[in-house]
Amino acid sequence: MKKFNVDEFIWLLILILLTTFIGYLLFSGYIYRFLSAKTAKNLWIALIILPILILAQIYKVISFNSRKDSSISYLPIILTLTIGVFISLNDFIIQESMNINVYSFKNKIADEALEISYENHHIIEEIDEGGEEFLGKYIIFTGFVHRHNNEQKFLLAREEMNCCVADSVIIGLKSISKDNFNDGQWIKVLGKIEYDGEYYLNIIEYIKVNPPNNQYF
């Protein structure tokens, strides 16, 4: 006679929590704080496999009871996953409540400007190495202020990941503005590529913003 199997139910609970946690990380974009988009793609495979395992585990729950009840040994895993899910969801709620910035420019030039994003961030390297084709063009870019000493120009920067946070490097556009920014300040800017011996972004307008969910390229 089949009975409710406590051990198998605990494993089912673990699989559900793990699936919820990975699903949240992927769909919220929170995972990109730790892994590059290329590396994070592997988690989508896990997200496909886990529901299949859950269905198989549901069948195992109603099975012959094991002689030894070892369910208590799974409690640390369940507690860890539960805390992880709770912290992640709580962080998501806080981030949404802080996201009150207006991401629009008053200057109509912004409608024709090229916006640098994850998909085309190779433009940053192209401008730095030789940006003749971008000279005179208008650029929209969101990054943080990264200063070297007290130079007039600063780097409007993002961090680029090849695999994970540990191998991230700072990349960005040399920029200049009539206004002063604190080191580390996140801003979304509209600017024009100019040249004075090196290519740089002359900032025309800017908006102070919160750090985006995905801070890495």
Annotate the chain with three-state secondary structure.
CCEECHHHHHHHHHHHHHHHHHHHHHHHCHHHHCECHHHHHHHHHHHHHHHHHHHHHHHHHEECCCCCCCHHHHHHHHHHHHHHHHHHHHHHHHHHHHCCCCCCCCCHHHHHCEECCCCCCHHHHHHHHHCHHHCCCEEEEEEEEECCCCCCCEEEEEEECCCEHHHCEEEEEEEECCCCCCCCCEEEEEEEEEECCCEEEEEEEEEECCCCCCCEC
CA atoms within 13 A on the CB side of 96: 8
pLDDT of residue 201: 95
pLDDT of residue 84: 66
In sequence order, the 6+-apart residues with CB closer than 8 A to the CB of 116 are: 123, 124, 139, 140, 141
pLDDT of residue 136: 93
Whole-prediction pTM value? 0.63
Residue 206 backbone dihedrals phi, psi, to 5 degrees: -145, 160
Distance CA 207, CA 145 (A): 13
Q: Which fold has domain 108-208?
A: OB fold (Dihydrolipoamide Acetyltransferase, E2P) (2.40.50)
Q: Which tokens go with 117? A: 């994003």
pLDDT of residue 64: 60
The tens-digit pLDDT sequence of the chain (217 residues) is 456 677 788 888 888 888 888 888 888 777 877 777 777 888 888 888 989 988 888 888 876 655 555 556 666 666 666 766 666 666 655 555 444 444 678 888 888 899 998 889 999 999 988 878 899 999 999 999 998 776 788 999 999 887 777 778 899 999 999 998 989 999 999 999 999 889 999 999 999 998 887 788 8
- Give CATH 2.40.50.140 domain extents, the chain: 108-208
pLDDT of residue 69: 56
